[in-house]
Structure 1
Amino acid sequence: MTARRTIPTIRHRTVDVDGVRVAYRESGPADGPVLLLLHGFPTASHQFARLMDALGDTPHRLIAPDYPGFGHTEAPTGFTYAFDRLADIVEGFTDALSLDRYALYVFDFGAPVGLRLAARRPDRVTGLIVQNGNAYEEGLSDTARAFTALRREVPGNEEQVRGLFTPQGTRFQYETGVADTSLVSPDHWTLDVHHLGLPGRADAQADLAFDYASNLTHYPAWQAWLRGARIPVLVVWGAGDPFFTPAGAKAYLRDAPDADVHIFEGAGHFALETHLPEIAPLIEDFLRDLRPSSPAGV
Structure 2
Amino acid sequence: MNWIANYVLATALLAGTAQAAPLPSTNATTTYHRVLVDGVGIFYREAGPESAPTIVLFHGFPSSSREFDTLIPLLATKYHLIAPDYPGFGLSDAPSPSAYTYTFDHLAQTMSDFLEKLKVTQYTMYLHDYGAPIGFRIILAHPDKLHALIIQNGNIYKAGLGAKWTRIAEYWADPKAHPEVLNAFLSFEATKDRHLAGTSHPERYNPDTWNSEYTDLSRPGQREIQGDLLYDYRTNVASYPQWEAWLRKHQPPTLVAWGEHDPSFIAAGAEAFRQDLPHAEIHLLDAGHFALDEKTDEIADLILQFMAKYPE
TM-score when scaled to structure 2? Answer: 0.87
Equivalent of residue 159 in structure 2, options 138, 144, 148: 138
* Alpha-carbon distance in 1 for matches of 2:172, 2:267: 27
Aligned residue for 1:199?
A: 220
10-19 or 75-84: bigger deviation: 75-84
Aligned residue for 2:294?
A: 274
Query: Does the Cα contact within 8 Å between 1:109 and 1:133 map onto a contact in 2?
Result: yes
Equivalent of residue 96 in structure 1, options 117, 131, 144: 117
The answer to whether 1:54 aligns with 2:74 is: yes
Q: Tell me the CA shift for residue 158 of structure 1.
A: 2.1
Identical counterparts, % of pairs: 39
Equivalent of residue 73 in structure 1, options 60, 75, 92: 92
* Alpha-carbon distance in 2 for matches of 1:158, 1:80: 20
CA-atom RMSD, angstroms? 1.6
Query: Does the Cα contact within 8 Å between 1:144 and 1:244 map onto a contact in 2?
Result: no
Equivalent position amino acid for 1:186 in 2? P
3-state SS of paired residue (2:172): coil
Query: Does the Cα contact within 8 Å between 1:102 and 1:124 map onto a contact in 2?
Result: yes
Equivalent position amino acid for 2:32 in 1? H
Query: Does the Cα contact within 8 Å between 1:35 and 1:102 map onto a contact in 2?
Result: yes
The answer to whether 1:25 aligns with 2:45 is: yes
The answer to whether 1:64 aligns with 2:83 is: yes
Query: Does the Cα contact within 8 Å between 1:83 and 1:211 map onto a contact in 2?
Result: yes
**Matches of residues 203-242 of structure 1 in structure 2 within 5 Å?**
203-242=224-263
3-state SS of paired residue (1:81): coil
* Alpha-carbon distance in 1 for matches of 2:164, 2:40: 33
Query: Does the Cα contact within 8 Å between 2:27 and 2:48 map onto a contact in 1?
Result: no
Structure with greater Cα Rg: 2
Aligned residue for 1:283?
A: 303
Work out which structure has the larger RCO, using CA pairs closer than 8 Å and 6 or more positions apart in sequence: 1
Q: Tell me the CA shift for residue 289 of structure 1.
A: 1.9
Per-residue CA deviation, residues 254-288 of structure 1 (Å, 9 max, x unaligned), is 111100000013x1100111111221100111122
TM-score when scaled to structure 1? Answer: 0.91
Q: Tell me the CA shift for residue 152 of structure 1.
A: 6.7
* Alpha-carbon distance in 2 for matches of 1:256, 1:49: 30
3-state SS of paired residue (2:134): helix
